[in-house]
Amino acid sequence: MDEQSALDALDAFGVRRDKKYPKISQSWRDNWANLSTYFKYPQEVRRLIYTTNVIEGFNHQLREVTKSKSVFPTDDSLLKILYLAMTDITKKWTGRRQDWSMIHTQMVIYFAERMPG
């Protein structure tokens, strides 16, 4: 999706939803200069940006482990179960993105001063 398509989608959203939620599309329009910087990046980099919810996923997995037990006898018991869950969760982080080489190359171009080549 390019910037013009995004603006068209925002207009379509406004037609459908402005009566019930008038502040949403207005807020997006008011802040469009900041929000639209997203569209200057290639599709692969944009996909990486909007799929970086690793922290949210990590927190969700920790909540899954602790929600079955509402009370822990000691703080240490809670820390131990969180530590064990964390080690299990992070074992799955060893894989690489299939398109990482292309993404890395594009990021070196866009962020040359921040990334080694």
Q: Say which residues have a Cβ less than 8 Å from residue 104's Cβ, sequence separation at least 6.
A: 115
- When divided into structural domains, the chain yields a total of 2
pLDDT tens string 58-104: 888 999 988 887 788 899 999 999 999 999 988 877 777 778 888 88
What confidence tier does 53 reach under pLDDT thresholds 50, 70, 90? Answer: low
Say whether both 27 and 67 belong to one domain: no
Residue showing tokens 């944009």: 46
pLDDT at residue 50, as a whole number: 72
Q: 22-30 vs 3-17: helix axis angle to the nearest 10? A: 160
CA dihedral of residues 66, 72, 78, 80 (deg, nearest 10): -110
pLDDT tens string 21-45: 989 989 989 999 888 888 888 887 8
Say whether both 31 and 60 belong to one domain: no
Say whether both 49 and 28 belong to one domain: no
Say whether both 32 and 57 belong to one domain: no
Distance CA 44, CA 83 (A): 34
Say whether both 102 and 61 belong to one domain: yes
Say whether both 91 and 58 belong to one domain: yes
Whether 51 has a pLDDT exceeding 70, the answer reads no
Distance CA 46, CA 39 (A): 8
Average pLDDT rounded to a whole number, residues 51-57: 71
Say whether both 57 and 83 belong to one domain: yes
Q: Where are the alpha helices (DSSP H) in the chain?
A: 3-17, 22-30, 32-35, 43-50, 54-67, 75-91, 100-110
Say whether both 51 and 98 belong to one domain: yes
Distance CA 87, CA 2 (A): 40
Q: Which domain holds residue 69?
A: 42-117
